[in-house]
Copies of this chain bind each other. A is one copy, B any other.
Amino acid sequence: MDTLTRIEQALQNALALAEGTGGPPKLAAALRHAVFPGGARIRPQLCLAVAKACGDPDPELADGAAVAIELLHCASLVHDDLPCFDDATTRRGRPTVHTAYGERIAVLAGDGLIVLAFQALAHAGRHSPARLPGLLSIVAQRVGAPTGIVAGQAWECEPYVGLAAYHRAKTGSLFSACTEAGALAAGANPERWQSFGLFLGEAYQVADDIRDVALATEMLGKPAGQDIALCRPSCATEMGLAGAIAHFDALLARAVGAIPPCKGAPALRALVRAESERLVPEATVRAPALAA
């Protein structure tokens, strides 16, 4: 089974834990709407790629970690899209959850996805619970306060925030959850894998800033120019487009340099290169920006 099929199957199994007869239909539909069809599934791919690089001795546990992280990412998107935050009406080219099901169901769907993430991880570790406390702790720390993605979003409510701290919390933290949890699920030392995830996540956030400025709405699948419209800290507005692209390249180089020596390193480097082109495409972003 290829990795993307493995991820979709594991997500389907997780959603099944939250479904079943007797539940409110709108909530069930909203949970599914938030998770399927997905985006690039880069986070669970990264988690499983690291687990594979470390031997992948417990694939069910690695799947549980990957799914938990993806569900938490989906939850953060549902809540970030709410009227009180981005007030976004579209996401991945479809109506956002609150647009389709109302604001109340969107709040609850986000909550339900957070709960489901931990439920799925616990379920995946039911036969081998020894690594569960560590995995749960990594995932929770990278999502919650004071330095996870919830904290990253909360920095937008503060009068001042440094760009690096903001990016690290808002995006880097969940990427480091991927690499750390992928390693721990495979019995490897998670600390050795943290920097790889942090640099990759920071690069991802910078790419998001770049794309927000450089690409039109129809290519993004969500409204473009939101960072400027919402006065959000943005690398592309702070450094200029060319400066932001140079920063993105430097972060990716640091991410590649932080991959610990292992048999799976070439595959991980290939994954990073493919993401680089997917996130900041030569033809539509890089060349036009550098020619401008």
- Chain A interface residues (CB < 8 Å from chain B): 18-28, 31, 75, 79, 82, 84-85, 101-105, 107-108, 110-112, 114-116, 118-119, 121-123, 125-126, 129-130, 132-134, 136-137, 140-141, 143-148, 150-151, 153-158, 161, 165
Contact = CB atoms under 8 A, between A and B. Distances in A.
A75 B154 CA distance: 16
Listed from nearest, the 4 A-B pairs whose CB atoms lie closest are A23-B146, A119-B140, A122-B136, A115-B144
7 contacts: A18-B145, A19-B146, A31-B145, A105-B154, A112-B145, A122-B132, A129-B129
Nearest to A130: B129
Contacts of A110: 111
A15 to B, nearest CB: 9
Contact of A116 (B18, B107, B144, B147): B144
A103 B129 contact: no
Nearest to A110: B111
B114 A111 contact: yes
Nearest to A114: B114
A110 B161 CA distance: 22
Q: Which of A85, A115, A141, A165 has the most chain B CB atoms closer than 10 A to its own CB?
A: A115
A84 B112 contact: no
Contacts of A147: 22-23
Contacts of A150: 27, 108, 111-112, 115
B145 A26 contact: no
A137 B18 CA distance: 12
B153 A108 contact: yes
Contacts of A126: 133-134, 137
B104 A84 contact: yes
B122 A140 contact: yes
Contact of A145 (B23, B82, B134): B23
A83 to B, nearest CB: 8
A130 B125 CA distance: 10
Nearest to A124: B133
A84 B109 CA distance: 14
A112 B155 CA distance: 14
B144 A133 contact: no
A192 to B, nearest CB: 21
A247 to B, nearest CB: 22
A81 B140 CA distance: 25
